[in-house]
Structure 1
Amino acid sequence: MKVVILCGGKGSRLASPTENNPKPLAIVNGKPIIWHIMKIYMKYGFNDFVLPLGFGGDKIKEYFWNYEWKNKNFIKDTTNDDIKLLNKPENWRITFVDTGIDTMTGGRIKKIEKYIDEDTFMLTYGDGLSDINIKTLLDYHNSKAKIATVTGIQRKSQYGILTIENGIAKSFDEKSKLDGIINGGFFILNTKVFNYISDDESCIFEQDPLKNLAKQLQLAVYLHKGYWLSIDTYKDLSIANKTWK
């Protein structure tokens, strides 16, 4: 089963450490975010990846092109120009697809349609880490028999919550009120989802496609209560380096 990881982000809010790099190459505990995400899926036996590339796509290609000699011990025999890896290489298959610098999420997904060769595929963002059980997620999707399943994350406010009526505080809840369920990525999708995505490069997957799926009761939600972090700012990156194992 294909695993699509959206890799078009510029990482502009990650500040200087990734100033010229795409967000998926931001480093968490010595490895790029994209490496960690792939390891999440590989843990459950999924190793066939499709990477829709945007900003810095050449650097992502370069990382994987040079991956073996940069990340493995090896012997190079100059007498016959032979190289022997001393560590077992990752068993992964990666399809790199240039989808445009400014293409939005829906446009990127639409452009990789021809690379999906099964009825079901997985999708996530190139900046999210989680200890989600991918096998349980897939089983849940199959049990609901919907076109799409999104992983929902319940977020709590980090601030005190004021309920106001006519300018007067009616209640104050100190860091306890739930903000609600947010999109945590880690989707399972049926290929019918492509019918909901336009060919327009400005199509945003999180807008009309997901909204229409929800209206037609075709969007299941798998609630994940474990570790989850979206790395959008340098603060998030610092948190990831401290908390992601």
Structure 2
Amino acid sequence: MKVVLLAGGLGTRISEESHLKPKPMIEIGERPILWHIMKYYSQYGFHDFVICLGYKQYVVKEFFADYFLHTSDVTFDLANNSMEVHNNYSEPWKVTLVDTGLKTMTGGRIKRIQPYIGNEPFMLTYGDGVCDVDLKALLKFHESHGKTATMTTVNIAQLKGVLDIDEGNVVRSFREKAEADASLINGGFMVLNPEVFSYLKDDTTVLEQEPMQRLAEEGQLMSFHHTGFWQCMDTQREMKKLEDLWQSGKAPWKIWEN
């Protein structure tokens, strides 16, 4: 199953860092947060990634093109124009990097990568947040209900898309954030059936608006409630929180050995 990562936004709320690089490339523990998300998925056996790029897309492409320079010791033989990689650990990843446009909205970015997905269900999340959700349980839940979309929901007092969920875990409505909200929110880490593409029109489509609202109205949007750790990185304060967790050795999303 493919994992789609949204990594093309401008990241204006953390502009101190994102004016130099895309927000998903901001580092936690000397590795981009995008890398942390991919490592987490990989531990559950998901190794095939499609990354939606836009703002400063070349930074992401250069990172993967020069992956061994970032992760291994190397010897350059300038006389022979060769490079030797030492202690090479190769991730079991297939990474497809797609330019989905500089100003394309989230739904438009997903629409653009449809040719790389085909007629199969896929995972989807944002390239700026980590958590310790059980991805196998999430997928099993999605497969059990037969609806078009499942999103991981978290109960946290932050300003994200707000959901109304009934006792059967059916999302009855989806609306944009409001200042007074402190309800269940969209935490990303979604599973989507290919039918979702029919809800996406063009580059101006915002996934979290009309498509999600329609899915909710039609009873096709389900909630997988996660009560554990979840944290996005919208601000310098949140970036520092994640960095402190990493440096303490207690980062909840770090479930790998090296």
The TM-score range, normalised by the shorter chain, is 0.7 to 0.9
User: For residues 7-18 of structure 1, what are the structure 2 equivalents within 5 Å?
Assistant: 7-18=7-18
User: For residues 134-145 of structure 1, what are the structure 2 equivalents within 5 Å?
Assistant: 134-145=135-146
Corresponding residue for 2:155?
Answer: 154
Corresponding residue for 2:175?
Answer: none
User: For residues 63-82 of structure 1, what are the structure 2 equivalents within 5 Å?
Assistant: 63-76=63-76, 81=82
User: For residues 121-200 of structure 1, what are the structure 2 equivalents within 5 Å?
Assistant: 121-156=122-157, 179-198=182-201, 200=202
Q: 1:240 Cα shift?
A: 1.2
Structure 2-normalised TM-score? 0.82
Q: 1:35 Cα shift?
A: 0.3
Is the Cα contact below 8 Å between 2:149 and 2:192 reproduced in 1?
yes
**Distance in 2 (alpha carbons) for counterparts of 1:26 and 1:61:** 14
Corresponding residue for 2:53?
Answer: 53
Is the Cα contact below 8 Å between 2:74 and 2:83 reproduced in 1?
no
**Distance in 2 (alpha carbons) for counterparts of 1:178 and 1:205:** 20
Q: 1:85 Cα shift?
A: 3.8
Identify, as 1 or 2, the structure richer in strand. 1
Is the Cα contact below 8 Å between 1:34 and 1:127 reproduced in 2?
yes
RMSD (Å), alpha carbons: 1.9
Worse overlay, 68-77 or 119-128:
68-77
Q: 1:17 Cα shift?
A: 3.0
1:235 counterpart (234, 237, 245)? 237
- DSSP 3-state at the match of 1:211: helix
Aligned AA for 1:43? Q
Corresponding residue for 1:207?
Answer: 209
Is the Cα contact below 8 Å between 1:148 and 1:188 reproduced in 2?
yes
Corresponding residue for 2:38?
Answer: 38
Q: Which runs of 5+ in 1 are unaligned?
A: 158-176
**Distance in 2 (alpha carbons) for counterparts of 1:36 and 1:223:** 22
In the alignment of these two chains, the number of paired residues is 225
- DSSP 3-state at the match of 2:156: strand
Look at both structures and tell me which one has the larger radius of gyration over its CA atoms: 1
Aligned AA for 1:191? P
- DSSP 3-state at the match of 1:193: helix
Is the Cα contact below 8 Å between 1:10 and 1:21 reproduced in 2?
no
Deviations 1:173-208 (A, max 9, x none): xxxx9821100000000000001111x211000011
Q: Which runs of 5+ in 2 are unaligned?
A: 159-179, 252-258
Corresponding residue for 2:177?
Answer: none
Q: 1:40 Cα shift?
A: 1.0
Q: 1:83 Cα shift?
A: 2.4
Is the Cα contact below 8 Å between 2:118 and 2:194 reproduced in 1?
no
Deviations 1:108-132 (A, max 9, x none): 0000001003521000001111111
Aligned AA for 1:113? Q
Residue 120 and residue 83 in structure 1: after superposition, are their counterparts in 2 closer, same or farther (change >3 A)? same
**Distance in 2 (alpha carbons) for counterparts of 1:3 and 1:152:** 18
